[in-house]
Amino acid sequence: MMAITLSTLNKLKQEGTKFTCLTAYDSTFSNLASSAGVEVLLVGDSLGNVLQGHDSTVPVTLQDMIYHTQCVRRGNQGALIMADLPFMTYATEEQTFDSCAALMRAGAHVVKLEGGAWLKDSVKKLSERGVPVCIHLGLTPQSVNKFGGYKVQGRDPAERDALIRDSIAAEEAGAAILLYECIPSDLMELIMTKVSIPVIGIGAGPSSDAQVLVLHDMLGATTRKPAKFVKNFMPEGDGSIQGAIAAYVAAVKSGTFPGPEHGFA
């Protein structure tokens, strides 16, 4: 696969072509996913749940993220690598710069931060210094203790307005990508009319430019009840992991995934 860059994603958006994102945490699955056509590999702090056995992403450390980003880089076959900054590694600007530098040196092409308008100054300065940023909005798993659980965000008018303001602020600050998790599908449609940078969704309906799933969830390799927005693609992959990933890519690009049953009102 030709190397995917931010320019590639912007071109796909302009053409109206959907692209795909999938989590990866090691060299083998990085190779399988990128070889199957996944454009963006997310080294997610979700590794705290699916690899380390924690009940949230909060215990994940920066060193964990550096290690797994290095592993994903070694197996990657041309996908853009996006890596999460874990809990409390970007509380101050100086800390943010140090954390981002570590992840970029480990092999990330884009860093992902959870939060709204309070990140505006950091995003602006990172962008000026050549660090592409993805801002994660909606259900932000690092704030699970504040939210009181994993709950759909943006259902009441105040939350909807705040998400729209945060979206516009992030783009104005220089964010390269926006990612929304667990928001109503109609709110995602509205936000898509307010921003011009690539948008990735998970549990946010079909209108975003791309979809992301946790690798283990889309392979049905989970010990917990799947979230509403998850689909197991193994039955569509002829029994092979690479086949399942290819089926996921095809479903996103054709618009058959996510369906109405995977979204929220």
127 annotated as a binding-site residue = no
What's the CA gap between 101 and 62, in Å, rounded? 11
45 annotated as a binding-site residue = yes
Domain assignment of residue 67, yes or no: yes
Parallel, antiparallel, or unpaired: how do β-strands 80-84 and 177-181 relate? unpaired
pLDDT in tens, 223-242: 889 999 999 999 998 889 99
Domain assignment of residue 87, yes or no: yes
What's the CA gap between 30 and 191, in Å, rounded? 31
pLDDT at 47: 98
pLDDT at 238: 84
- Could you tell me if 73 and 37 are in contact, meaning their C-beta atoms sit under 8 angstroms apart? no
pLDDT in tens, 194-216: 999 999 999 999 999 999 999 99
Q: Pick from 117, 69, 79, 120: which is nearest to 96 by CA?
A: 120
Averaged over 175-185, what is the pLDDT? 98
112 annotated as a binding-site residue = yes
Catalytic residue among 15, 93, 181, 261: 181
- The 3-state DSSP class for residue 157 equals helix
114 annotated as a binding-site residue = yes
Indicate if the pLDDT at residue 72 is higher than 70: yes
pLDDT at 147: 67
Domain holding 206, by residue range, is 6-262
pLDDT in tens, 4-62: 999 999 999 999 999 999 999 999 999 999 999 999 999 999 999 999 999 999 999 99
Domain assignment of residue 166, yes or no: yes
Domain assignment of residue 187, yes or no: yes
Domain assignment of residue 13, yes or no: yes
pLDDT in tens, 82-111: 999 999 999 999 999 999 999 999 999 999
Averaged over 59-76, what is the pLDDT? 98
Domain assignment of residue 1, yes or no: no
pLDDT in tens, 131-156: 999 999 999 999 877 766 778 999 99
Whether the predicted model's global pTM rises above the 0.75 cut: yes
Indicate if the pLDDT at residue 188 is higher than 80: yes
Instruction: Count how many domains the chain has.
Output: 1
pLDDT at 144: 78
Q: Which amino acid is located at 123 in the chain? A: V
Domain assignment of residue 49, yes or no: yes
* CATH number of the domain where residue 230 is located: 3.20.20.60
What's the CA gap between 255 and 233, in Å, rounded? 15
Confidence band, pLDDT 50/70/90 cuts, at residue 159: very high
Domain assignment of residue 82, yes or no: yes
Q: Is 171 a catalytic residue?
A: no
Residues 6 or more apart in contact with residue 252 via CB below 8 angstroms: 18, 19, 20, 210, 211
